[in-house]
């Protein structure tokens, strides 16, 4: 298998296409067509986390559908842990890895180089390490972060008639711009519109324990009582939108809260008037498609899947159309 993988990686980097494994005869690959491919899949957050749980559900369905010999890894949104787990996966000699791109190009480059040298196929989801992919190959499944945050802000301005001089609070994970460019894009559009913006640092720990953000937002709202809109940095944090509003003394629809993704908690917040707009990036696909991509590359020698999963906006007028899937942990 290693022999075939080395040929495959060399051929892919050269722009060629080869078949890494012997496919069944005929055009039907069978239900277990990827069973000989040992794979590690990174779900990103905690096992019980909202966003990571949907990503993992997508991966689990793809593993079942392809028969891949795969393990799902959870990293608590800790970038150092992701890097450590990736190093361990490479050391174990798996055939393929679907990696969250959050650690960024600088952290991932030496490990991607090691993986390529070992004949390990890699692809990425959720955050795009573009320089790594340009050098060592691999696809990307996720929203275009550089444009998603800007689009959210423009939609908020349109829907809610936000004006120059209005105040926004935007939580930006400032520690890594590869990840932070989405929320920072919202800041840029608001400021270009003439609004004033208070930026809160979206520490990665908040995704694992979003209740920690309640006093942070409370302090910011107390200092800026004129605030019209809050931009959250992910679904795990927007899951506690009701708690954020109530703790700061706001009732339903008294402060606009917007952000990214869907979840059962966000659907409930729409119903109660505590969430008003979200940009859906379909995390289920960010689980399913990377597994499918790695299987296709390993077994059929096809190129990697690249898919922008941004699906548009969910708001108070249409959230009921996705509620059942969100409540099921599939959207």
Enumerate the β-bridge partners of residue 199: 170
* Residue keyed to tokens 């990736």: 86
Would you tell me how many other CB atoms lie within 10 Å of the CB of residue 177?
12
pLDDT (tens digit per residue) in 281-294: 999 999 999 999 99
CATH no., domain 2-143+282-310? 3.40.50.2300
* pLDDT greater at residue 7 or residue 20: 20
Q: What is the pLDDT of residue 4?
A: 40
Dihedral angle over CA of 147, 148, 149, 151, nearest 10: 80
Separation of alpha carbons 255 and 237, rounded Å: 16
Mean pLDDT along residues 69-82: 95
φ, ψ for residue 269 (rounded to 5)? -70, -35
Least confident of 22-31, 87-96, 135-144, 198-207: 22-31
In the chain, the percentage of residues whose pLDDT exceeds 70 is 92
Determine contact, residues 232/266, Cβ cutoff 8 Å: no
Name the band, by pLDDT with cuts 50, 70 and 90, for residue 21.
Answer: low
The chain-wide mean pLDDT, for the chain, equals 91
Name the band, by pLDDT with cuts 50, 70 and 90, for residue 11.
Answer: very low
In SS3 terms, the chain reads as CHHHHHHHHHHHHCCCCCCCCCCCCCCCCCCCCCCCCEEEEECCCCCCCHHHHHHHHHHHHHHHHHCCEEEEECCCCCHHHHHHHHHHHHHHCCCEEEEECCCCHHHHHHHHHHHHHCCCEEEEECCCCHHHHHHHCCCEEECCHHHHHHHHHHHHHHHHCCCCCCEEEEEECCCCHHHHHHHHHHHHHHHHCCCEEEEEECCCHHHHCHHHHHHHHHHHHHHCCCEEEEECCCHHHHCCHHHHHHHCCCCCCCCEEEEECCCHHHHHHHHHCCCCEEECCCHHHHHHHHHHHHHHHHHHCCCCCCEECCCCEEECCCCHHHHHHHHCCCC
Name the band, by pLDDT with cuts 50, 70 and 90, for residue 225.
Answer: very high
Mean pLDDT along residues 56-72: 97
* pLDDT greater at residue 263 or residue 13: 263
- Tokens encoding 170: 């935007």
Least confident of 143-147, 162-166, 189-193: 143-147
Mean pLDDT along residues 66-87: 96
Residue 5 pLDDT exceeds 70: no
| b/e burial code for range 37-55 (CB count within 10 A of at least 16 → b) | bbbbbbbbbbeebbbbbbb
Mean pLDDT along residues 37-45: 97
Q: What is the pLDDT of residue 29?
A: 86
Q: What is the pLDDT of residue 23?
A: 54
Name the band, by pLDDT with cuts 50, 70 and 90, for residue 13.
Answer: very low
- Tokens encoding 176: 């890594």
Determine contact, residues 127/101, Cβ cutoff 8 Å: yes
CATH 3.40.50.2300 spans which residues of the chain?
Answer: 2-143+282-310, 145-280
Least confident of 18-27, 155-164, 202-211: 18-27
pTM: 0.87
CA–CA distance from 185 to each of 11, 149, 179, 314 (Å)?
37, 5, 11, 19
φ, ψ for residue 259 (rounded to 5)? 175, -135
* pLDDT greater at residue 11 or residue 59: 59
Mean pLDDT along residues 305-331: 93
- Tokens encoding 199: 């930026």
Q: What is the pLDDT of residue 25?
A: 62
Mean pLDDT along residues 71-89: 96
Q: What is the pLDDT of residue 27?
A: 75
The torsion region of residue 330 among left (phi > 0), alpha (psi -120 to 50) and beta comes to: alpha
Of 204, 186, 208, 207, give the one whose Cα is nearest residue 195.
186
- Tokens encoding 54: 């949907």
Mean pLDDT along residues 218-243: 96
- Crossing angle of helices 2-13/283-300, nearest 10°? 110
Least confident of 42-56, 186-200, 211-225: 42-56
Residue 331 pLDDT exceeds 90: no
Q: Which fold has domain 145-280?
A: Rossmann fold (3.40.50)
Determine contact, residues 212/233, Cβ cutoff 8 Å: no
- Tokens encoding 316: 């108070």
Name the band, by pLDDT with cuts 50, 70 and 90, for residue 252.
Answer: very high
Separation of alpha carbons 82 and 74, rounded Å: 8
């Amino acid at each position: 298998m290693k022999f075939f993988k080395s040929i495959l990686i060399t051929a892919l980097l050269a722009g060629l296409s080869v078949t890494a494994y012997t496919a069944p005869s005929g055009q039907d690959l069978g239900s277990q067509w990827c069973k000989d491919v040992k794979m590690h899949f990174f779900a990103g957050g905690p096992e019980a986390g909202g966003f990571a749980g949907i990503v993992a559900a997508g991966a689990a369905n793809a593993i079942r559908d392809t028969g891949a010999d795969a393990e799902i890894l959870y990293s608590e949104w800790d970038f150092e842990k992701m890097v450590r787990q990736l190093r361990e996966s490479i050391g174990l000699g798996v055939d393929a890895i679907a990696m969250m791109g959050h650690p960024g190009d600088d952290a991932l480059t030496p490990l991607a180089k090691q993986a390529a040298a070992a004949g390990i196929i890699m692809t990425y989801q959720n955050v795009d390490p573009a320089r790594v992919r340009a050098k060592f190959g691999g696809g990307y499944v996720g929203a275009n972060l550089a444009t998603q945050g800007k689009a959210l802000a423009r939609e908020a301005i349109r829907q809610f008639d936000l004006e120059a001089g209005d105040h926004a609070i935007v939580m930006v994970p400032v520690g890594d711009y590869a990840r932070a460019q989405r929320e920072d894009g919202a800041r840029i559009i608001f400021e270009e519109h003439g609004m004033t913006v208070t930026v809160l640092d979206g520490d990665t720990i908040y995704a694992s324990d979003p209740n920690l953000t309640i006093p942070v937002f409370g302090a910011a709202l107390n200092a800026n009582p004129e605030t019209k809109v809050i931009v959250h940095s992910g679904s795990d944090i927007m899951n506690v939108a009701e708690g954020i509003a109530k703790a700061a003394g706001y009732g339903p629809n008294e402060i606009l809260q917007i952000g990214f993704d869907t979840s059962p908690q966000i659907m409930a917040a729409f119903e109660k008037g505590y969430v008003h707009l979200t940009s859906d990036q379909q995390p289920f696909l960010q689980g399913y498609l990377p597994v499918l991509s790695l299987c296709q590359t390993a077994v059929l020698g096809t190129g990697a899947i690249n898919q922008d999963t941004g699906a548009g906006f969910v708001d108070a007028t249409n959230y009921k159309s996705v509620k059942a899937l969100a409540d099921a942990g599939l959207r």
